[in-house]
Chains A and B, each alone.
Chain A
Amino acid sequence: MLFYSFFKSLVGKDVVVELKNDLSICGTLHSVDQYLNFKLVDITVMDGHKFPYMLSVKNCFIRGSVVRYVQLSVDDIDVTLLQDATRKEASK
């Protein structure tokens, strides 16, 4: 549940989600659930001309199982806190 809590703390921040089909979506994280499904609002798609079907989409729900990477801004993350939480989780 560590990463679920981690992503919950990032709600409202701008993230880039890269999918397994090479689609990269930049947007504001609106919500996340236990499967790490994401809901992004106000999205823009990198290389938009390659994915014309995404042009008319503003908000989207992404299934956790198709995500390859999530890119985050360095300022949004407290690495020390993350490490501490990891140790706590490991010692349970």
Chain B
Amino acid sequence: MSQYLPGTASLLEDLDKKLMVLLRDGRTLIGYLRSIDQFANLVLHQAIERIHVGNKYGDIPIGIFVIRGENVVLCGEIDSEKEERVDLKRVDIDEILAEQKVELEAKREKEKLRLKAMQNYGLFFNADVLYLNKVKFKQIL
């Protein structure tokens, strides 16, 4: 057990390997890990941002990326054996961006409906909504 480095230091074993990094905003970056520290601040070399929509994906090259540790959700080592078995289709950047836009639009629409339904029950979730409904509140009070 003691031959393994614990925690963030275990990322040292992944130096110069191809990693998939998932960020808190849901983005996935893939690149070669060049440096790390105790906060899991990362440096990715030859990085790409990979966008998945359904069973398609697209890659956007973004060069060198320094990621502040607090934004990291997880770092996964990409297993080439598993990667080959994955049945996803690669499409070009414009196509995936268009598909992502459609998906986001649908999500936003759904969220709007949900918030509206909640508001009918008098439930308000975030400050923006509260602000927009300030007038309504004043009327009630």
Contacts and interface: CB of A to CB of B under 8 A. Distances in A.
Q: Do A and B bind each other?
A: yes
Interface of A: 11-12, 19, 21, 23, 25, 30-35, 37, 39, 43, 52-63, 65-66
17 contacts: A21-B73, A30-B4, A31-B10, A32-B7, A33-B7, A39-B10, A55-B88, A56-B86, A57-B78, A60-B74, A60-B76, A60-B77, A61-B10, A61-B75, A62-B73, A63-B72, A63-B74
Interface of B: 1, 4-11, 14, 20, 22, 24, 26, 28, 40, 50, 52, 55, 57, 69-70, 72-79, 82-83, 86, 88
B86 A66 contact: no
Interface of A is mostly: mixed
Contacts of A59: 76-77, 79
Given A33-B8, A61-B10, A66 B20 contact: no
B69 A63 contact: yes
Given A33-B6, A33-B8, A33-B9, A53 B83 contact: no
